[in-house]
Chains A and B, each alone.
Chain A
């Protein structure tokens, strides 16, 4: 056991924090919330130059060959700063599944582009049924000569409107167990028949409706095996859930820091409000939530990174930070007082994202159900 970060990991954290606080101020976050694209091409280019998109991509494919756990550190910093854009969808939902299930050709085709910052990815998994269970995959894939033809609707697909590629989960065989008959495709997002519309959401994080109307995809674009795509999705979800947890941890930490700083400055009855015990205990509760979540997330992310079985812990980590992030940001708004409820104040940026992140990859009720199953109930 060694619960310290390595020197390289500490350096990664420090450089990410410095870079993001300079290059991605809250003014930019607000601007991108309002913009159509939801990301800054200029900032994207700078991130690519730092090698971030290729952080976990193997050297052979133009990346830096680091571990998933290292990516978690970077994501924590991104969550701390609320970095808008397609990093999560491209690296976590794009590169990782390709590294996991792609053929040599597919890896050669896509991974170097991702590492260079030249390709934006996302994953189209959820549908109007809004579930992460395999039964939710209903979009139809029909074999037709050398192609498959996709028909159906995907919903809550983040950054689909700017993506170059989408990894699409489709139902290729009916009738068996829900886990059987799911096939994954790497789809060119500009293919004829694809229509995309951004949904207005609390986090302004560009979740999209994507309609597939007779979209042809070459058989060579199947990711993994035909009809056997669900285990790939499951592994992708484990990574994505922990990646989301890391972002949430960073956001929760920033919210507590901002609140503690504010409480030391804001004067009431002639003294800083930080001297009022009722507020001190609110903040102590926030810290308890944050620190329990932090250590559980590091432990679980480390296990996922090492490829160890960790379904129960992943669900526990997400269930815990879901409630923790909401609790911390709710208290943060309360301690800031009326100013915290305004559109202009930064704490609201975190408060809104806490709910968006809670719902992504399974809210707390869903995580509890997953834990209950793992407990053998």
Chain B
């Protein structure tokens, strides 16, 4: 084993880091004070701008093949990139374009689809959202009912998608529709790519409990989608979603951001004084923060393992570890928000104002984090994967 990066990788990390610091000089006020700020009007403008600059550096899709704007870079380099960018709170890359549909098209798209969609993603010119969940199909995704009816060389789509992260900013949507209503569950689903500007697509905000705009509902009313925008064969869309899932979860960014959060909390606790001593002198505070750091180190080590497995192409063999990384990471962020709100006592509840501690960041996180235990496969779904794929338990649901 060897946990060290090569001198070349170290140098690359340093280059990422220097540019990240440079980019963050332009961050708007309030950046980093809530997780969904990125999708607000101000936050999104900053996101687009920084993503564009990173694209100009050629850094957005480094693991992709050169012909589609990538650098054929190993996943370990992407690990370093994600770690650095998350630590410096650089706006995260388009999880749906770069993280999901890009790899999916690389694995299962037609040559025409690759040429049409991959370069704009690599150039940070086209953003994506995900049309999977519906009001009655979330964890049980295969029960979805949004219809796609083939009419000559088009599909006519009718139905509703929901929990559509960043749908209000996205240019395109990848979605699942039911093309064969006779077939139950995962059989009879087709994978489509839809331009969000197509007539009949309506996006409505679905505000989080703290009032911020992150999720949307997307309505499809006689939306015409050309057959050339179908990925894979008709009624074979489920297999394509399985390919997409392989690219979503190493978890390093979450861990890196969490580490930064602890460092910020430590710095704050060294300055806040109660009863003539700093919070950092209180054993209660010290131990709670230390415990969180312990957990972050544990999660980081697992994320490295997942990335290493993916580097070797062991996506299936490490599926349960990717699930473990996801569920551990989001639940850890929930514990961090909880501890952070508690250590400042009554001030833990105060939102952005002159009374707020750390710009009210933690009470905002406290409201946001429950959603992270649900999106991208709920904690319960992840545990199902771990117990069946990882431990060989029988599937009984």
Interface residues of A (CB under 8 A from B): 1-6, 9, 69, 256, 260, 263-264, 272, 274-277, 280-281, 283-285, 287-288, 291-293, 295-296, 298-299, 302-303, 306, 312-313, 315-317, 319-320, 365, 367-372, 375-377
Contacting pair A372 B290 (CB below 8 A): yes
A233 → chain B closest CB, angstroms: 22
Q: Say if the beta carbon of B301 comes within 8 Å of chain A.
A: yes
Contacting pair B394 A272 (CB below 8 A): yes
Tell which of B2, B5, B293, B382 touches A302, judged by Cβ atoms closer than 8 Å. B2
CA distance A1 to B303 in the complex (A): 13
5 other contacts beyond A296-B297, A375-B289, with CB at 8 A cut-off? A260-B393, A288-B324, A293-B298, A368-B290, A372-B289
CA distance A256 to B297 in the complex (A): 22
Q: Say if the beta carbon of B392 comes within 8 Å of chain A.
A: yes
A308 → chain B closest CB, angstroms: 9
Which chain B positions have C-beta within 8 A of A315?
294
B277-292 Cβ-contact flags toward A at 8 Å (1 or 0): 0001101011101110
CA distance A292 to B262 in the complex (A): 19
B194-226 Cβ-contact flags toward A at 8 Å (1 or 0): 000000000000000000000000000000000
Which chain A positions have C-beta within 8 A of B294?
315-316, 319-320, 367-368, 371
Tell which of B269, B285, B391 touches A283, judged by Cβ atoms closer than 8 Å. B391
Which chain A positions have C-beta within 8 A of B387?
280-281, 283-284, 287
Interface residues of B (CB under 8 A from A): 1-6, 9, 76, 262-263, 266, 269-270, 280-281, 283, 285-287, 289-291, 293-295, 297-302, 304-305, 308, 320-321, 324, 327-328, 380, 382-384, 386-388, 390-394, 396-397
Which chain A positions have C-beta within 8 A of B280?
377
A255 → chain B closest CB, angstroms: 13
CA distance A263 to B396 in the complex (A): 14
Contacting pair B386 A299 (CB below 8 A): no
Contacting pair A316 B383 (CB below 8 A): no
Contacting pair A316 B393 (CB below 8 A): no
Which chain A positions have C-beta within 8 A of B396?
275-277
Contacting pair B286 A377 (CB below 8 A): yes
Main secondary structure of the interface of B (DSSP, over half): helix
Contacting pair B308 A1 (CB below 8 A): yes
Contacting pair A280 B297 (CB below 8 A): no
CA distance A293 to B328 in the complex (A): 12
Which chain B positions have C-beta within 8 A of A275?
393-394, 396
In the complex formed, the residue of B with least CB distance to A6 is: B1
In the complex formed, the residue of A with least CB distance to B279 is: A377
Contacting pair B266 A375 (CB below 8 A): yes
Contacting pair A283 B393 (CB below 8 A): yes
Which chain B positions have C-beta within 8 A of A276?
396
Contacting pair A369 B298 (CB below 8 A): no
In the complex formed, the residue of B with least CB distance to A317 is: B297
Q: Considering the complex of A and B, which 3 residue pairs feature the smallest CB-CB distances, nearest first?
A: A295-B301, A280-B387, A284-B383
Which chain A positions have C-beta within 8 A of B386?
283-284, 287-288
A51 → chain B closest CB, angstroms: 21
Which chain A positions have C-beta within 8 A of B328?
288, 292
A157 → chain B closest CB, angstroms: 28
Tell which of B1, B293, B302, B397 touches A69, judged by Cβ atoms closer than 8 Å. B1
A272 → chain B closest CB, angstroms: 7
Which chain B positions have C-beta within 8 A of A371?
290, 293-294
Contacting pair A296 B266 (CB below 8 A): no
A4 → chain B closest CB, angstroms: 7
> With A296-B301, A299-B3, A317-B297 known to touch, is A375 a contact of B290 (CB < 8 Å)?
yes
Which chain B positions have C-beta within 8 A of A372?
286-287, 289-290
Contacting pair B304 A299 (CB below 8 A): yes
CA distance A132 to B278 in the complex (A): 26
B14 → chain A closest CB, angstroms: 16
CA distance A6 to B297 in the complex (A): 24
Contacting pair A377 B266 (CB below 8 A): yes
Contacting pair B324 A287 (CB below 8 A): yes
Contacting pair B302 A292 (CB below 8 A): yes
Tell which of B1, B295, B299 touches A298, judged by Cβ atoms closer than 8 Å. B1
Tell which of B1, B289, B382 touches A5, judged by Cβ atoms closer than 8 Å. B1
CA distance A201 to B1 in the complex (A): 36
B336 → chain A closest CB, angstroms: 14
Which chain A positions have C-beta within 8 A of B397?
277
Tell which of B289, B293, B327, B383 touches A280, judged by Cβ atoms closer than 8 Å. B383
Contacting pair A4 B1 (CB below 8 A): yes
The interface centre, meaning the residue of B1, B285, B397 with most chain A CB atoms within 10 A of its CB, is B1
Tell which of A2, A260, A298, A377 touches B391, judged by Cβ atoms closer than 8 Å. A260
Contacting pair B3 A3 (CB below 8 A): yes
A13 → chain B closest CB, angstroms: 12
CA distance A375 to B157 in the complex (A): 55
Which chain B positions have C-beta within 8 A of A298?
1, 3, 301
Contacting pair A2 B2 (CB below 8 A): yes
Contacting pair B383 A281 (CB below 8 A): yes
CA distance A376 to B269 in the complex (A): 11
Which chain A positions have C-beta within 8 A of B262?
375
Contacting pair B266 A376 (CB below 8 A): yes
The interface centre, meaning the residue of B270, B286, B291 with most chain A CB atoms within 10 A of its CB, is B291
A229 → chain B closest CB, angstroms: 28
Contacting pair B3 A291 (CB below 8 A): no
> With A260-B392, A320-B294 known to touch, is A1 a contact of B5 (CB < 8 Å)?
yes
